Structure 1
Amino acid sequence: MPITAALVGYGLAGRLLHAPVMEAAGIEIGAVVSSRTEEIRAERPSAAVCASLEEALALPGIDLVVLATPNHLHYEQARRALQAGRHVVVDKPFVLTHDEAAELKSLAEARGLVLSVYHNRRWDADFLTIRRLLGENRLGRVFNYAARWDRFRPSVQQRWREEALPGAGLLYDLGPHLADQAIQLFGMPDWVEADVFVQREGGAVDDGFEIRAGKGPLRLSLGAASVVADGGWRYRIDGTAGSFLKRGIDPQEAALRAGGRPTEPGFGEEAAENRGILVSGEGAREEIPSEAGRWTTFYEGIVRAIRDGGEPPVTAASAAETVRFLDAVRQAAERHARVVL
């Protein structure tokens, strides 16, 4: 029997970044919690449309609850779903504090339930390529890691992410991706310094950030801004054997927005012009073909964890570390001081 899920939230995240990927992994969407009734009935006529999480939890046969809702709702909604005996996937960021993450982790363990966080960017084409290069020791010992996610959105938009709500703003939107990737590659840094700021007129929440962190001799730089027409290098990694430089962004989101599906041939493959460049210590330049991005791997891992009882592809403990890092970033920005992790 397929795993049957209730999808909570049917905005961009729920409708495009979760639902098609869930279905590609064999998960059946049995219910959707949203006010977008007509849209859901047109696109997923077999799914029950529910007005509340409680209504979805009362349905028979729901194995999994997937939360694609505003960040400040994650903790309470995940807690209620776990208490109702359902496995849970939460969109990033997991929750807003490390204490909330620890509490949900303990609740899931006590009830023998799968609790995971959709850090889908671990399966981006560029990140998979970087992991491969580091695994092959193509860069030698790494001393500098820089990752950016700049966008050109010079005007404030009418959406919850730009309203004065807990967990809104760019730090909790793009920061979890950049932080999670860095921690996956190098572990938790020893210290962090940060500037979290508002630049655009009328901005109610942060629309940019610059994070510096260190782990021994390694230096990490993570940043994002909202008024950058040409972001330049998205990744730059420097090691004793050379440097890797990468432009562009994983194509999966753009493909999903255009109506593509993860099961289609070529889905997740980057265009040749976005290939990274490996520069050796002697100056030789080598074009590096990217791995194919594959977010479906996440939900395939969720299915296995539910059926076989193993660990999910993103553990609650792993996601909690990213929350802890972002806690420290916020503290460092507020204090204008280095925070030791």
Structure 2
Amino acid sequence: MMKLFAPIRTAIIGFGAVAEKMHAPLIDVCPDLALQAVVERHENKCEKRYPNVQTYRSLESLLEEDAADLIVITTPNEFHFPMAKMALEVGKHVVVDKPVTIFSKEAEELQELASNKGLLCTVFQNRRFDGDFKTIQSLLQQETLGRIISLESHFDRFRPQLGENWREKNVPGNGVTYDLGTHLIDQLVLAFGSPLSVWADIRMQRTHAVADDYFDIVLDYGSLKAKATAGVMVNAPTPKFLLLGEKGSYQKFGLDVQEAAFKAGQRPEGESWGVEEPKKWGTLYLENETKQWPTLAGDYRVFYQNIAAHLLRNEELLVTLQEAITVLKIIEAAFQSAHEGRKILKKEGGW
């Protein structure tokens, strides 16, 4: 494998809303990465904002011209596997937007290919760096609530009308489970490890829906139950997190502030990035005391900073493809559970 030097030539494949609002700005502010190429089939939106970027109409043409060393794939889920495989086969490092691939077997094939070639292949899991989840991790590490018995993680919205996004179409890898479910399950597994069993209720709740728009997935750890749930018919406040322990509870409403900042076009810079104002902090309910609990600052910038540090200095990866494979297998078990109406037990040796 050829040694890389900073800044690493980076390309984005697909320039939809997530790439435009999140991936491109995060790459642009990372001093060890240089956004130099993009694949857009019909437009040139990226190079209008980033004049040094060269636009290509296909991944094949970008690879033929050797335009980048790091390939970031943000296309719809059904294209993740063939595009990542194509990039790896010609010696490129790859970051794929979550859930990485539709099937765990595909992700395992990418893992083997990357390993054989000495290349990086991993998944963009930005919500590991949400301020509220970092706060949950801190409470667990400090044992503030003692022995934990339950964690509920919600991502509820009110979108009763069907949209035009590909995730709501009848295409492979559609639906809210492969979208938000990937984030929430990844957080739960990071916090507690691989569960003993999975139970799930996955539905299409909106009229004429062709993709799942609701899930309630329970990861059973024996003495601890972790639940991930999301729906698009919720027009009332529900907690983002509810953590229950022997010494008390922690409840947090509202989403991490970074997403709204990205949507507003704010550049991810400065010490105030990802800092939540005190009025939005969660609440800690102890036996004889109730108080606001400061939310730790979130920071999605850490993801690409770590990618660059790994490629340049061999620093340990914070998000690995093996972790993404575990999440995919749990999602596959969740769909099996919902279809068969039963709990799915972990197999010997893992999922």
Q: 2:234 aligns to what SS in structure 1?
A: coil
Tell whether 2:333 aligns with 1:328: yes
Distance in 1 of aligned mates of 2:260 and 2:42: 22
Aligned to 2:277: 271
| AA of the residue aligned to 1:17 | M
Aligned to 2:17: 12
Tell whether 2:167 aligns with 1:161: yes
Contact 1:10–1:36 (8 Å) recurs in 2: no
Percent of residue pairs identical: 36
Tell whether 2:105 aligns with 1:99: yes
How far 1:52 moved relative to its partner? 0.5
Q: 1:171 aligns to what SS in structure 2?
A: helix
Distance in 2 of aligned mates of 1:38 and 1:222: 38
Distance in 2 of aligned mates of 1:13 and 1:292: 21
Tell whether 2:325 aligns with 1:314: no
Distance in 2 of aligned mates of 1:8 and 1:312: 22
Tell whether 2:129 aligns with 1:120: no
Deviations 1:252-272 (A, max 9, x none): 111011111111341111122
Match of 1:201 among 200, 203, 207: 207
Runs of 4+ in 1 over 4 A off after TM superposition: none
Distance in 2 of aligned mates of 1:217 and 1:135: 18
| AA of the residue aligned to 1:321 | T
How far 1:274 moved relative to its partner? 1.6
Aligned to 1:2: 7
Tell whether 2:190 aligns with 1:184: yes
Deviations 1:115-149 (A, max 9, x none): 11100000001011111111111011111110010
Tell whether 2:38 aligns with 1:32: yes
- Equivalent pairs counted in the alignment come to 340
Contact 1:108–1:115 (8 Å) recurs in 2: yes
Aligned to 2:241: 235
Aligned to 2:301: 296
Distance in 1 of aligned mates of 2:332 and 2:256: 27
Aligned to 1:255: 261
TM-score scaled by length of structure 1: 0.97
Change (3 A) 1:61 1:165: closer
Aligned to 1:86: 92
Deviations 1:74-126 (A, max 9, x none): 11111111001000000001111221111111111110011111000000010
How far 1:35 moved relative to its partner? 2.7
Q: 1:30 aligns to what SS in structure 2?
A: strand
Equivalent runs, 1:70-81 vs 2, <5 Å: 70-81=76-87
Q: 2:243 aligns to what SS in structure 1?
A: strand
Distance in 2 of aligned mates of 1:340 and 1:199: 27
Q: 1:158 aligns to what SS in structure 2?
A: coil
Distance in 2 of aligned mates of 1:174 and 1:320: 16
Contact 1:151–1:231 (8 Å) recurs in 2: no
Distance in 1 of aligned mates of 2:112 and 2:73: 19
Aligned to 2:3: none
Contact 1:133–1:139 (8 Å) recurs in 2: yes
Change (3 A) 1:36 1:135: farther
Q: 1:173 aligns to what SS in structure 2?
A: helix
| AA of the residue aligned to 1:60 | D
State the Cα RMSD in Å: 1.2
